[in-house]
Amino acid sequence: MKKLPGAPDKSWMMWVAAKPGVFGDKELRLLACTIVRTTPTADGQTVWDLLTDERSRAAIDVAERYANSEATDEELSAAWADARAAAWGIIATRCSRIWGIHSTADYASCLISPQGEAIEVWNDIQLEGAE
């Protein structure tokens, strides 16, 4: 994505957007959804393309509908829980395949260990996706 001359840096724009009172909940929610749908990755995809589990994509759809008063609090909560389950399912699968980890306690420890294994998980997942 090419930067327009004179356009502010994206990180500055995000800093401003996150300041309390600059934008309301609706605008921030819609901005987050737009970022997921349109932000390019190094390989030419978008962040949206990386959401391979339909529950994750559904959560973005529900968040947009919620911002536009077209979804209920219950629908938003359910979509969030489903997306979270999808993410943990991916992590569990990858930890199991990469390191032979099979228990919930081991997943948690591999993700938060001081040895930087969380970064290793992310790097291993990225490398695996490139194969």
Domain ranges of the chain: 23-130
pLDDT value of position 3: 53
What is the sign, positive or negative, of the torsion defined by CA atoms of 120, 125, 126, 131? positive
pLDDT value of position 65: 97
pLDDT value of position 102: 59
- Contact by Cβ (8 Å): 37, 50: no
Task: Characterise 116 by phi-psi region: left (phi > 0), alpha (psi -120 to 50), beta (else).
Answer: left
> What's the pTM value of the predicted model, to 2 decimals?
0.65
Tell me if residue 14 falls in helix, strand or coil. helix
- Contact by Cβ (8 Å): 13, 27: no
Query: From CA 38, how far away is CA 36, in angstroms rounded?
Result: 6
Measuring CA to CA, how many Å separate 94 from each of 13, 106, 130?
34, 13, 14
Q: What stretches in the chain show pLDDT beneath 50?
A: 1, 113-117, 119, 122, 125-126, 128-131
pLDDT value of position 103: 58
- Which residue from 72, 77, 69, 63 is spatially nearest to 32, judged by alpha carbons? 63
